[in-house]
Amino acid sequence: MAASWSLSGALKSMFARDTIDADTWSDLEDALISADFGPDITDSVIEELRASVAKYKTDDPTDLKRMLRETLEERLARLDPTLTLSARPAVVLVVGVNGVGKTTTIGKFAKFLVGHGRTVVVGAADTFRAAAVEQLATWAERGGASIVRPQQQGQDPASVAFQTVERAQRDSIDIAIIDTAGRLQTKSGLMDELGKIRRVVEKQTEIAEVLLVLDATTGQNGVAQAEAFIQHAGVTGLVITKLDGSAKAGFVLAVQERTGIPIKLVGQGEGINDLTGFTPHVFVQNLVG
């Protein structure tokens, strides 16, 4: 992972000191707050670490670093990041606000799945913007997926979703990824639209995953955004994008703990291969060093 969001720079001098003292705790607090863990999680992490330091009677900053790694990893690993894609077809709805990286994520995800030997069809159920359909078609092609497009602009998104699932069933395609609109200006309209897509698809087959895409650079605002989707769209997993450019990696723990929904995928760049599963150990290793 790129090091731009790593805490290790900020922590280096702190862990290089001879002993754990009052400055250590305030530097650690600053580092966690600047990385966007949010005040509550920062307080609770520090409280846990103070308890561990007291329990093990250590004043060695190297021990503190190890404890920080363990605490973050244990908290991130409380939820299961496994994608459930065994149904055939496995239907994946992708939801989120425009600009967060939904289209790009779908292309990368298709590539990832095709690379693992699965066949993929993408459904362009954001039918309002012709440019969005074209952009999705380009990314689907790059990812090695076929696409179901609306027959006309503004076609009922639920009917495109229906046709996508139908195509997957007819052609024995393993995974149907359905893109949805993300115009938050019309929040209730958008949530109604997502509800209708879900109802229509659920009559055809079970929905395997509803992935909510969130942009790490929006920080804590992203959590508020997540809540509306979680209430209305039945979200089963989060995809955090733009972690490569963000100094706000603490958002990852904040959003997972506050929503109670596991992070399943992480986007770390604009290229087709820049999407990975979420592995707390690797993430924390990169974050803390």
CB 36 within 8 A of CB 10: no
Q: How far is the CB of 240 from ligand GDP (least distance, A)?
A: 8
Please tell me whether residue 67 binds ligand GDP under the rule CB under 6 A: no
Q: Which of 174, 193, 209, 244 binds ligand GDP (CB under 6 A)?
A: 244
How far is residue 228's CA from residue 206's CA, in Å, rounded to a whole number?
22
Please tell me whether residue 163 binds ligand GDP under the rule CB under 6 A: no
Site string for ligand GDP, 223-242 (x = CB under 6 A): ------------------xx
Structural tokens at position 226: 């997540």
**Coil, helix or strand for 192?**
helix
Q: How far is the CB of 20 from ligand GDP (least distance, A)?
A: 36
Please tell me the number of Cα atoms within 13 Å of 151 on its side-chain side: 5
Please tell me whether residue 99 binds ligand GDP under the rule CB under 6 A: yes
Structural tokens at position 247: 């100094």
**Applying CB under 6 A, which part among 96-104, 141-149, 153-161, 223-231 lies near ligand GDP?**
96-104
Please tell me whether residue 174 binds ligand GDP under the rule CB under 6 A: no
Residues 259-288 touching ligand GDP, rule: CB under 6 A, are: 267-270, 274
Please tell me whether residue 102 binds ligand GDP under the rule CB under 6 A: yes
DSSP H helical segments within the chain, as ranges? 8-16, 22-34, 39-55, 61-76, 102-115, 130-143, 157-170, 187-204, 221-233, 251-259, 280-288
Q: Which residues bind ligand GDP (CB under 6 A)?
A: 98-104, 182, 241-242, 244-245, 267-270, 274
